[in-house]
Amino acid sequence: VLCAVNIQHNCIQNKCSLKQLQAIRQEREETNQRRDIVVHNNPNDFLINTCQMRNAAIIQRFAFTPPI
């Protein structure tokens, strides 16, 4: 492992939605309550969280565009 990278799914541009699909479990039993889960459109579209970037020199070689 050379470095850690924090990535987030690009939900805004992909217009991902919330659905109440997942049942909430309590003491190993499913309840009638439901939890919102995110349904991702285009699940391979990610953003690099640059606020957490500490190893830019290592990550830059994977960039699509050269650094400024």
Q: Is 20 a member of any domain?
A: yes
* Structural domain that includes position 46: 7-62
Q: Is residue 16 part of a domain?
A: yes
Pairwise CA distance, residues 34 & 29, whole Å: 13
- Residue in 3, 12, 2, 10 with CA at minimum distance from that of residue 48: 10
Which of 2-11, 13-22, 28-37, 46-55 is predicted with the least confidence, judged by mean pLDDT? 46-55
Q: What is the pLDDT of residue 61?
A: 74
Give per-residue pLDDT as tens, 25-64.
989 998 998 888 899 999 999 988 777 677 777 777 777 7
Residue 2, domain member (yes or no)? no
Q: 1 lies in a domain?
A: no
Both tokens of 18, joined, read: 């919330």
Number of domains in the chain: 1
Read off the tokens for 60: 């830059």
The one-letter amino acid at 33: Q
Does residue 15 sit within a domain?
yes
